[in-house]
Every structure is written in structure tokens, then in C-alpha cells.
Amino acid sequence: MFDSPQRNHPSLIVERLFSVVGALLILLFSRVGDAEIYTGRVFTAAYWRELLALLLQGRVQVLFSGAGVLLLLLVFVFFGVRTWKKTFFHVADGVLLVEKKTLMKKQSSLPVEHIATVNLESNFFEQLIGTSKVKLDLNSFATASATDFTFVLKKTHAEQFKAYILGLKQEHSGAQGAQPVQAQSELEPVIAFSFSKVIRHAALSITLTQIILAVIVFLLPFVSVFFEEQQGQDSLLPFILFSIVIVFGKGLLSALRYARFSLQKDERRIYLDYGLLRKRSYSFTRDRINAVTVKQPFFARLFGLYYVEAAVLGLGNENNETSVLSLLVNKSELQSVLDACAPGFLCAAAVHRSPRAALVPLFLKAAFFAAVGGIALWLAFGFSPLLFGLWLVFCLGMAYLSFRTKSACYDEKVIHFSSGILNKKMVMLQYADVQKLEILQNRMFARLRLGRLRFHVLASLLSSTHITGYVAASHLEACAEKIGI
């Protein structure tokens, strides 16, 4: 079926042009005073000759008349349909061929073995009309922050295409012989989240920054009332509503994004499905995981809950995607998820805290921020030793807490490092997945026998770089030796 040239589903035209056509339609309907659309004069040649004459006189504003907008709309729709009609894809001899025969001719050929991940996604519109996007990603840093190829097909065809590509990959890789792609019923469930648990994740992932911002917005009118005595009771409502939106808006979007979250696995692959308005279905082999991050937002820490992110090419590419592997779970569930999905990332070695010498650069940084903040406070509120003292104590306190909360552990294959005063985070890396390592030092660090490590792995931009806290110089050398093993 996919060895002959195929087109995308025609609904792709609507999706691609939705925002442009929508904006133009709004503009068109706003021009209700332009009678030429309604009297049919727009369909006469004389009308268009007059329009052209006005344009040649330099009266460009006619383009924003109802007829001008209608013309633009038709042009966009024409080119949208033409692009759809002239774009084909098919698979021949294990190579995916994508051809665009528009004004800018383009032919891409991609051996199936170079496809790293094949994922499905359906937004609200696609769910309504029964289509699905197939998203293909290459194992390439150059295109890590965007999906490499996207095709829109009917839902059943999309699933068939995904199975076809995965089957071809297995055949061509030859690693374990030709094995059929596992049917959904043979998959082993790892963890699934009910709607209440999704709500729990959304609620406990609210950050302190959001809470503080919401409180500031909520308190603003009271401050105004105190100083200006001009705000009436009824003007409080927008501020209250805005505060609620800040706190709960992101949480609601998060709940919709992760509804029906389920994680399954078979012998080689991990399968991730989630989404209500925009359904996403990801699958990738375990060896595509290049880093694992276990996170504990502040409120989740109070309940002993963790969530897991994975640095996988194809997961968390675009701005509206995320690399979450598991929502908030307790410690035993976390261990099950890690055992099932990332057993090679576990480390049983002893934990090393930051060396005491790390206090020096941290306190120096704190002193710098205290000085800058002190100048800002002086300009805003005038000279106040108490205010500056409080700010200095705060900066030094945060520096000490930063020192106390950083740690690392290493064995022959894996390194873990954790950080975070309020929101805790632990990054797990395998040395074999590290593409580049930077050891960061200066003369002061060298004298204190300290340094920091910056690891680069193959993943989208947001999860490709990981930096440790200050570690002892002996550990820097030990890590440098293990890279590449």
C-alpha cells in the first residue's frame, strides 16, 4: 500500500491554512460595510479594473477592502490546494521518498534505518474527522528541535503506516532477525493514570513562582486602595480572576494534555499514550533514551511524589510537546517505572555531597547578587541598612542551601547528579550516551580543586545539555576517563 506514491489527507489543507484563512475571514466579515460583496458587483470585470486603477494610484488600502481580502483568501487557498496536490510520499526498497513538485521542487530520500522514532498524534480537529498525524524523527542533532517529517492520513492508514515503517526498520536493522511488530494485546502495562491522578499531577506541579505571581496580582488592588483610595469593590473581580487563571490555567491545560496517560512496554520498545484534545502516541526502543530526569516540584515533595522525563529524540520536540515518561508517582511506583523503562540508568554507588570548597564560589555569586540587588533596592526605596541586611542574608542563605542540596554518584557506567532547593531534580546519564563533555574551571576552581561538568546528549534542545554542581577535581578526571567506554 505504501510502495506507491501517496498524498496526505486533504484535511491537511485546512489545518495548514487554518490560522491564515481564519484571520482573513475575520477581516472579511468585519468589512460588512463593503457592499460590493453582497450586491454581486465583485463578480464584474469593471469592478476589478477600478480596483487595479486605485492600486496603481498608490491607494494600497483597497487591499483591505472586502474584495481585497476575498482575493487574498482565494490566493492562499489556491496555493494550499496546489501544495497538497503536488506532495507525495512512498517507500521503495527500504527508502522513504518524499517529493514536493511545487515551485520549489524538493525530493528527500531517507533510508528507513535512519528513522529513530515513529509517533502518532491527533489534535481535536483530527479526532473529529478521523485522521491522525504520523511524525518521523531522525537520529540527528541538527533537526532535534522539530519533527523531521509529518504526514496526515486517515487514522487506520496512519496506524498501518507506522506499523509498516517499524516492520521495515526491524527487517533492515537485522539485529534480532525479522520479528513482527508486537500487537497491542501483547504489550505489558507499566503504569496508567486515572483522571484523578492526572488532576493530582496538574495540581501538585504548580510552581511556587505561579503562586507568588498570583498572590502579587491578587494583592495589587488592595495596595492601590490603601495608597490611592480610588479603586471600588467591583474592580477587584478582574484581579481575582486573573490570579485564578495564573494558578489554575496552566494546571487545567496540563490535565487536558495528560488525560488517559498510559505507559506500556514489550521486549524492546516503550509505548506512551496520552491526551484528550490532542492525542499523542509515542513508541521508541529503550536504547533511544539518552538521559532520564526524575523531578519533584515543591508541592509534590510534600507528598513524596516524583515524575520522570526522558531525553529521547522525537519526544519533546516542538514547543507544545513534553518529554514526560511518567506523571507523579510514589517511590515504589517510580522504581517500577525506572526498572521497566530505564534499567541501565540505575546507580547503586555511594552518594557524594558537594565538597566544602564549593561554598567559596557560591558565596561569591551570592555577594554579587546581593550587591546588584542592594543597588536596585537603594534606587527604589532609598538607603536602608535593614532592607539590605535582609537581602544579603537571603542571598547567602540560598547559596548555602544550594550547596547542601547538590550531590552526585558515579559508577562505571552511569552518573547521577541532583540539585534544587525547592524543586528537586535528579539527572541520570550513561557515559556511553554522552556525545560531548565539557569540564568547566578557572584559576580559582583549580586552586580549590573544583570544577563543573556539562554533558551533551542526543535529544531535543530543551533536554540535550545537563550541567552538574561543583564537584571535586578527582571526580572530573574519573568522568573524563569513562566517556567513550
DSSP conformation letters of 274-306 = E-SSSEEEEEEEGGGEEEEEEEE-HHHHHTT-E
Choose one: 70-78, 82-90, 242-250, 430-438; the region binding other proteins (CB under 8 A): 430-438
Under rule CB under 8 A, residue 178 binds other proteins: no
DSSP assignment, residue 6?
B
Choose one: 124-132, 275-283, 333-341, 428-436; the region binding other proteins (CB under 8 A): 428-436
How far is residue 435's CA from residue 403's CA, in Å, rounded to a whole number?
Answer: 28
Residue among 55, 163, 432, 473 that touches other proteins (CB under 8 A)? 432
Name the residue nearer to other proteins (CB basis): 59 or 436: 436
Binding-site string for other proteins from residue 300 to residue 339, where x marks contact by CB under 8 A and - marks none: ----------------------------------------
Residue among 72, 440, 462, 473 that touches other proteins (CB under 8 A)? 440
Q: How far is the CB of 311 from other proteins (least distance, A)?
A: 10
* Contact of 224 with 231, CB cutoff 8 Å: yes
Q: How far is the CB of 114 from other proteins (least distance, A)?
A: 11
Under rule CB under 8 A, residue 464 binds other proteins: yes
Choose one: 9-17, 68-76, 161-169, 435-443; the region binding other proteins (CB under 8 A): 435-443
Report the alpha-carbon angle 81-86-90, nearest 5: 125
Size of the site for other proteins (CB under 8 A): 24
How far is residue 180's CA from residue 2's CA, in Å, rounded to a whole number?
Answer: 18
Under rule CB under 8 A, residue 434 binds other proteins: yes
Under rule CB under 8 A, residue 287 binds other proteins: no
Under rule CB under 8 A, residue 473 binds other proteins: no
Choose one: 47-55, 278-286, 415-423, 451-459; the region binding other proteins (CB under 8 A): 451-459
How far is residue 103's CA from residue 125's CA, in Å, rounded to a whole number?
Answer: 29
Under rule CB under 8 A, residue 438 binds other proteins: yes
Under rule CB under 8 A, residue 456 binds other proteins: yes
HSE on the CB side for 72, CA within 13 Å?
18
Under rule CB under 8 A, residue 110 binds other proteins: no
Nearest one of 101, 77, 83, 87 to 14, comparing CA atoms: 77
How far is residue 158's CA from residue 268's CA, in Å, rounded to a whole number?
Answer: 22
Q: How far is the CB of 357 from other proteins (least distance, A)?
A: 17
Q: What are phi and psi of 450, to 5 degrees?
A: -130, 165
In angstroms, the Cα distances linking 153 to 47, 101, 128 are: 42, 20, 13
What is the torsional sign of CA 215, 216, 221, 222?
Answer: positive
Under rule CB under 8 A, residue 37 binds other proteins: no
Q: How far is the CB of 338 from other proteins (least distance, A)?
A: 23
For residue 152, what is the enclosing H or E element?
strand 149-154
Q: How far is the CB of 113 from other proteins (least distance, A)?
A: 11
Segment 130-134 long-range contacts (CB within 8 Å, at least 24 positions apart): 130/154, 130/155, 131/9, 131/11, 131/155, 131/158, 132/158, 132/159, 133/158, 134/158, 134/161, 134/162
* Contact of 122 with 155, CB cutoff 8 Å: yes
218 burial type by CB count under 10 A (0-12 exposed, 13-18 middle, 19+ buried): middle
Relative orientation angle of helices 359-381 and 385-405, to the nearest 10 degrees = 150
Under rule CB under 8 A, residue 449 binds other proteins: no
Choose one: 6-14, 56-64, 117-125, 433-441; the region binding other proteins (CB under 8 A): 433-441
Under rule CB under 8 A, residue 480 binds other proteins: yes
Under rule CB under 8 A, residue 30 binds other proteins: no
* Contact of 439 with 453, CB cutoff 8 Å: yes
Q: How far is the CB of 429 from other proteins (least distance, A)?
A: 11
Choose one: 53-61, 133-141, 205-213, 251-259; the region binding other proteins (CB under 8 A): 133-141
Under rule CB under 8 A, residue 141 binds other proteins: yes
Residue among 30, 39, 108, 140 that touches other proteins (CB under 8 A)? 140
Under rule CB under 8 A, residue 382 binds other proteins: no
Under rule CB under 8 A, residue 439 binds other proteins: yes
Going by DSSP bridges, is the β-strand pair 306-312/324-329 parallel, antiparallel, or unpaired?
A: antiparallel
Q: How far is the CB of 440 from other proteins (least distance, A)?
A: 6
Residues in the chain: 485
Q: Footprint of other proteins on this chain (CB under 8 A)?
A: 139-141, 432, 434-443, 446, 455-458, 464-465, 480, 483-484
